[in-house]
Structure formats: C-alpha cells, structure tokens
Amino acid sequence: MMIKKNYNNGFTKVRDIMFEYPLYRKQIDMIKDEIMTPYNENTDENIGGSRSSFSKMFEQDKYVLRTEYFKPTLERIFLNKRVVEDCLKEIDPNFKKYIEGYYFSNMSKQKAIAISGYSWSHLKRKRNDLFRRIAFKLGIFWTD
C-alpha cells in the first residue's frame, strides 16, 4: 500500500513516485483482492444454531462500499502510472536506461550512470527536468 508522507518539496515526492512505480501492479492487485475477498467480521452465529441471513442480504452493497473506499487510492495509482509512462516515452534511450536501472530495478547509482553513458551532472539536469514535468502533470508544487 502507498505510504502517506509529508514532503518538504516536489522533488522528494516525485522521487518516491518513481521508486513506487514498479510496485503499482502489486498495489492494484492487493486492492482488487481486498475488494473481492475482504475480512469478514460477521461470523457470529445465533445461539440456536441457525445463521443470520443479514450478511448475505447486503453482499452487493458491501462490494460497492469497499470499491468506493478504495477509489481515491486506485485513481491516484492509475494517474501516477500513466503520467510516469507518458513522460518516459519522451526521453532519450540512454537516459531511460538510467531511470529504469536506478529507480525501477534497484541498480546502484554508479552502475546506472555507467550504463547510461552520461556524466552525473548531465544526468542530474535531465532527471530534474523529468521530475519537473512529472510534478507539473500531477499538480505537485515545485520550487527551484
């Protein structure tokens, strides 16, 4: 699940979005599983031995309520995923190797820099431009 944090600036928020990007599919699957098979609190039976039909009567309503509960989280995940994918389409292949290696594959920073073929200062400028575009598209406050 996404962790809510307080951010000092837009850079750290976008950085965390980039690190969470590979986990979005897993988060979506977890939410889908939670909606379809939730923890059932109504396991209590009557003393006489018969089951109450109350839980079966409102089963459809439970799915709607759970879906509405998770809707903002799912919308945020889908928006973040779409914006990151759109911005990644606009960058050059060597810089994309660095982004995919460092942020998506947990590669060390030095190895990702070596694979890209760029200097660190050049990568930093390109990374800041990419993060600024992502922040703008997501409506994240950005200061230079």
Which residues have a Cβ under 8 Å from the Cβ of 132 and sit 6 or more positions away? Answer: 10, 142
Which residues have a Cβ under 8 Å from the Cβ of 93 and sit 6 or more positions away? Answer: none
Residue 1 banded pLDDT, cuts 50, 70, 90: very low
Decide if pLDDT at 48 tops 60.
Answer: no
Q: How far apart are CA 83 and CA 24, in angstroms?
A: 13
Q: Write the pLDDT tens digit of every residue in 14-44.
A: 999 999 999 998 988 888 888 777 665 555 5
Give me 24's structure tokens: 């979005």
- Identity (one letter) of the amino acid at 44? D
**What's the Cα-to-Cα distance from 116 to each of 46, 102, 131, rounded to whole Å?**
66, 11, 18
Q: Write the pLDDT tens digit of every residue in 104-137.
A: 998 999 999 999 999 999 999 999 999 999 999 9
Q: Kindly report the pTM of this predicted structure.
A: 0.76
